[in-house]
């Protein structure tokens, strides 16, 4: 245990995902020894990112503007929506360069154990987007695990009656994993080989 602010810093850093107590200590001591100018820049950036970055009002991707870069891009196909759990999955799908449509970020997956039901996700918002007749296909790209599958099944039941084509990524993604960790070749293939979910 360290004293005062150093201990506070270690405790805060330890709250970050993937940072265990040892790493928290290492980062804290790195910051203590670093040039004050560099530390200041990092601190300012942390504050700035929270002030400037918000969520796209259409798809809920992260954005510095009211609408994200993808929703604003007229070259993106408005007829196909790719539904993902988190905005980091948008990055994963973008990396494959297989997808030229637009997105909808749910903000998680249905997980009764964690108390996450459909009403906690941006499903209502998705369904209201589907009232736009320009959208003809939904690609469900939830994580290949239990929660992701449950979410995809739920969404298929909700969307199919609306007359919109629903497809799912082809199998081949590592089961139990997280979309963002799939390599881009595998994810790209899963996209190209997508199958009807109904």
Alpha-carbon gap, residue 192 to 169, rounded angstroms? 8
Which residues are registered as beta bridge partners of 139?
Answer: 82, 167
Question: Considering the rule CB under 5 A, would residue 155 count as an interface residue with Zn ion?
Answer: no
CB of 61 to Zn ion, least distance (A): 5
Q: Does residue 96 touch Zn ion according to CB under 5 A? A: no
Q: What is the footprint of Zn ion within residues 25-84 (CB under 5 A)? A: 56, 58-59, 61, 68, 71
Is the Cβ of residue 58 or residue 173 nearer to Zn ion in the bound state?
A: 58
**Least distance in angstroms from the C-beta of 86 to Zn ion:** 14
- Closer to Zn ion at the Cβ: 56 or 173? 56
| Residue located via tokens 């039941």 | 157
Question: Least separation, in Å, of the C-beta of 67 and Zn ion?
Answer: 5
What residue has token string 């297989």? 98
CA distances from 124 to 59, 104, 128, 157 (A): 12, 11, 6, 14
Nearer to Zn ion, 10 or 58 (CB): 58
* Phi, psi values for residue 168, rounded to 5°: -120, 155
Least Cβ distance, residue 104 to Zn ion (angstroms): 9
Q: CA-CA distances (angstroms) from residue 194 to 13, 119, 121, 165, 176?
A: 40, 27, 24, 12, 19
Interaction site with Zn ion (CB under 5 A) = 56, 58-59, 61, 68, 71
């Amino acid at each position: 245990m360290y004293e005062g602010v150093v201990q506070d810093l270690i405790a805060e850093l330890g709250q970050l995902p993937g940072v265990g107590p040892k790493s928290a200590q290492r980062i804290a001591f790195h910051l203590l020894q670093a040039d004050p100018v560099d530390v200041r820049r990092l601190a300012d950036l942390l504050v700035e990112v929270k002030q400037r970055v918000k969520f796209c009002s259409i798809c809920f991707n992260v954005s510095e503007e009211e609408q994200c870069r993808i929703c604003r891009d007229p070259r993106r196909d408005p007829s196909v929506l790719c539904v993902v759990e988190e905005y980091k999955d948008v990055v994963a799908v973008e990396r494959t360069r297989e997808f030229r449509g637009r997105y909808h970020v749910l903000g998680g997956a249905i997980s009764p154990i964690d108390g996450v039901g459909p009403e906690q996700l941006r499903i209502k918002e998705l369904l209201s987007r589907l009232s736009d007749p320009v959208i003809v296909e939904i690609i469900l790209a939830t994580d290949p695990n239990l929660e992701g599958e449950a979410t995809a099944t739920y969404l298929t039941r909700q969307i199919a009656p609306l007359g919109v084509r629903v497809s799912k990524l082809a199998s081949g993604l590592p089961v139990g994993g997280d979309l963002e960790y799939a390599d881009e070749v595998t994810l790209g293939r899963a996209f190209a080989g997508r199958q009807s979910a109904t």
